[in-house]
Amino acid sequence: MSTVVPGRLYLVPTLLAPSAPEDVLPARTIAIARGLVHYIVENAKPARGFLKALGPAVPIRNIVIDEIGDTPTPARCAALLAPARDGHDLGLLSDAGCPGIADPGALVVAAAHREGIAVVPLVGPSSLVRALMASGMNGQRFTFHGYLPVKPDARAEAIRRLEADSQASGGAQLFIETPYRNAALLSALVATLKPATRLAVAADLTSASETIESRPAGEWRGRDPARYDKRPALFILQA
Amino acid sequence: MSTVVPGRLYLVPTLLAPSAPEDVLPARTIAIARGLVHYIVENAKPARGFLKALGPAVPIRNIVIDEIGDTPTPARCAALLAPARDGHDLGLLSDAGCPGIADPGALVVAAAHREGIAVVPLVGPSSLVRALMASGMNGQRFTFHGYLPVKPDARAEAIRRLEADSQASGGAQLFIETPYRNAALLSALVATLKPATRLAVAADLTSASETIESRPAGEWRGRDPARYDKRPALFILQA
């Protein structure tokens, strides 16, 4: 279908960590997000917290907030987008950061394209981009892998494969971990990588405790990996 | 070395297209960028244009602007960072968008880490992230490839390889082209990809003429590729 639908789907980035909205969101993003009264969200609770921090134009109880669910069917996506067919602009929110990057919002965006709904991405913080730009590694060629395997043998094998692929392509390899496993992943990286392979960790991005360290794996030895435990973090390696 | 150096290196994203700074930059990014008097930049001319648009705290002629050059040596990077050792904060600017992503600024950032200079990434527009979030494709796994080969045979082969890799991994593949070759690349994509492979083009991001289209390759047939000529664009495919 490509009939033009009157309502638009605004992709609204949210805060990555507790901070003033003005620190990480442009005035235009804040103004548009304040004015929307229909939201499609990953989870209602963080969405309400974000809208409260912005100070919306109407009381929060008057804002329609629909949860996407983990893997929305095409029928569910169509139902979520129904207000746009009635002429209402919609906002899409992730729990943290940019909707559609590593969250189920991408399925809603794909459905919007199928229905001829204009998709408008607004500017806001991306932990991926901040970590990559701050790492000093190769921004001309990189891959984001999401999570690595948890079991030690499979994890070590995955780390060696990422390192070999980086050696072949020259690219940077980005991945994440559940925060309470950060120390285990960092120990495995330091134990598995060649000493010259570069390794960066970026934690608590945009918050007062933001930490970004980037150095060869060999120089990570002897540093306590527990410092990064339970802090949202991104890992980057380049051979 | 890991002596702590007093000056910091701020990574300052710039505008992607002519637009009001407030539309795409958070107030904190604008405030910090306005106050810096030492800049390391990809090219002086766009850097001066950006600082002029921001309205810096001191006259532009009093701002020290050093060009990085295409492939700065370690010695050149150390010289560029010298003001930080004297206690001055430094700003790093790309010609457009985020410094350190697909530009020589990454080498300066890597040098800052070696010298123990704190690296502070500020929030601003990333064409990559905007295009990916707006495409509705897989944000959980993706690769940015930079430019594809220009010669038709090598280009078609690269497109087929990206498609096969995406089919195997489920990931999205992002790449760019010199704007005056966009129509040629788009024609080659439509001619080479399987009809069901999804293809998105995002052009003129953040400007009034921003265009984002995402649909199966088969549905791109019969649409004039010349519409995208000479417009900065990002291409994304997913099999």
The answer to whether B139 faces chain A, any CB pair under 8 Å, is yes
Which residues in chain A have Cβ-Cβ distances shorter than 8 Å to B20?
A: 28
Average pLDDT, chain A: 93
Domain limits, chain A: 9-121, 127-238
Q: Which pLDDT does position A237 carry in this prediction?
A: 98
Write out pLDDT tens, residues B45-63: 999 999 999 999 999 999 9
Contact B121, B99 (CB under 8 A): no
Q: Which pLDDT does position A1 carry in this prediction?
A: 46
Percent of chain A, pLDDT > 70?
A: 98
Which residues in chain A have Cβ-Cβ distances shorter than 8 Å to B107?
A: 136
The stretch B56-71 carries a mean pLDDT of: 93
Chain A, window 169-198: residues with a beta carbon less than 8 angstroms from a chain B beta carbon: 171, 198
- Determine the CATH number of domain B127-238: 3.30.950.10
pLDDT band at B3 (very low <50, low <70, confident <90, very high): low
SS (H, E, C) A17-76: CCCCHHHHCEHHHHHHHHHCCEEEECCHHHHHHHHHHHCCCCCHHHCEEEECCCCCCHHH
pLDDT band at A69 (very low <50, low <70, confident <90, very high): confident
Contact B9, B199 (CB under 8 A): no
Percent of chain B, pLDDT > 70?
A: 99
Which residues in chain A have Cβ-Cβ distances shorter than 8 Å to B141?
A: 143-146
Rounded Cα–Cα distance for residues B188 and B148 (Å):
11
Rounded Cα–Cα distance for residues A180 and A232 (Å):
9
CA distances from A69 to A14, A38, A162 (A): 18, 17, 32
Write out pLDDT tens, residues A1-31: 446 778 999 999 999 888 899 999 999 999 9
Write out pLDDT tens, residues A97-111: 899 887 889 999 999
Q: Which pLDDT does position A3 carry in this prediction?
A: 62
Local structure of B50: helix, strand or coil: helix
Q: What is the ipTM of this complex?
A: 0.92
Rounded to a whole number, what is the distance in Å from the CA of A75 to chain B's nearest CA?
16
Q: Which pLDDT does position B151 carry in this prediction?
A: 96
State whether A206 and B113 contact (CB < 8 Å): no
CA distances from B236 to A30, A152, A191, B169, B198 (A): 28, 34, 36, 15, 8
Rounded Cα–Cα distance for residues B202 and B134 (Å):
8
State whether A215 and B113 contact (CB < 8 Å): yes
Write out pLDDT tens, residues A112-165: 999 999 999 999 999 999 999 999 998 889 999 999 999 999 999 999 999 999
Contact B165, B171 (CB under 8 A): yes
Chain B, window 148-167: residues with a beta carbon less than 8 angstroms from a chain A beta carbon: none
Which residues in chain B have Cβ-Cβ distances shorter than 8 Å to A146?
A: 140-141
Distance from CA of residue B209 to its chain's centroid? 19
Task: Tell me which architecture the domain covering B9-121 has in CATH.
Answer: 3-Layer(aba) Sandwich (3.40)
Neighbours of A52 (CB within 10 A): 10
Which residues in chain A have Cβ-Cβ distances shorter than 8 Å to B126?
A: 126, 129
The answer to whether A137 faces chain B, any CB pair under 8 Å, is yes
The answer to whether B103 faces chain A, any CB pair under 8 Å, is yes
Q: Which pLDDT does position B1 carry in this prediction?
A: 45
Is the pLDDT score of B226 beyond 70?
Answer: yes
Which of B110, B134, B140 comes nearest A136 by C-beta? B110
State whether B109 and A134 contact (CB < 8 Å): yes
Distance from CA of residue B221 to its chain's centroid? 29
Write out pLDDT tens, residues B204-224: 998 889 999 999 999 999 999
Which residues in chain B have Cβ-Cβ distances shorter than 8 Å to A144?
A: 140-143
The stretch B167-194 carries a mean pLDDT of: 96
Contact B113, B119 (CB under 8 A): yes
Rounded Cα–Cα distance for residues A88 and A116 (Å):
14
| Chain B interface mutation, best of A24, A133, A207, A220, highest count of B Cβ atoms under 10 Å | A133
